[in-house]
Amino acid sequence: MSDARKVALITGANKGIGLETARQLGKLGITVLVGARDAAKGEAAVAVLKKDGVDARAIKLDVNDTKDYAAVAKSIEKDFGRLDILINNAGIFLDSRKGNQTSATSQEVLRKTFDTNFFAVVGLTQALLPLLRKSEAGRIVNLSSILGSNTLHATKGSYVYDAKTFAYDASKAALNSFTIHLAHELQGTKIKVNSAHPGWVKTEMGGEGAMLEIEDGAKTSVELAMLGEDGPTGGYFHVGKPLPW
């Protein structure tokens, strides 16, 4: 079945920034595939989105289960024949919030963090790239963080200089590297790849002290998903402003 509307897949879209991103894209006329590890939670999110007039469909997707990748690709191929937008939104934060604990960060925390925040993004993107190549304007948005900026972490007095959460920060720096490398490989194609910093958002992951509402946290992902032909690729942005790697 073909569909003239653009099709977007958002991972971890049953709550928080992912759900709000789905809502905002849906309001722009995009068909949104709500990726969720728990199928029931995905369907519940879809019900909420449909009340807002969004064309949303739940899709079971555990980013840490590589078997889901092929199933998702097959489903999208069957229903739409292509994928226009992939937003790698799912992520985890397992670090201590009690200051710099780099030397005490366990191998288990590092591996679990990288499995979700880096390896899963790479694997899923690779699996869906053939469908993105069929789009007239494929867009890949990798949800990073300003905490992935090595430049800012190394700069005394910067906004993040004293915010050292090693596993999370390193996973997002690695994700940024993936953005740079994939964008370079795809230069000359119609696919654009960018990293997004949503801001410090009032979500479960954002924790106490977060300043931005969820509506604002979704804006960068939506902007990068809707880039025109002359838009950037291989960049790292927050609401239109480039960030240092």
Distance (Å, whole) CA 124 – CA 70: 9
Instruction: List the catalytic residue out of 69, 168, 192, 219.
Output: 168
Instruction: List the catalytic residue out of 172, 192, 202, 219.
Output: 172
Burial class (CB in 10 A: 0-12, 13-18, 19+), 87: buried
**Is 172 assigned a catalytic role?**
yes
Residue 53 Ramachandran class (φ > 0 left, ψ -120 to 50 alpha, else beta): left
Distance (Å, whole) CA 108 – CA 230: 42
**Is 41 assigned a catalytic role?**
no
Q: What angle do CA 11, 16, 17 make, to 5 degrees?
A: 65
Tell me if 59 sits within 8 A of 33, measured CB to CB: yes
Query: Which residues are marked as active site?
Result: 168, 172
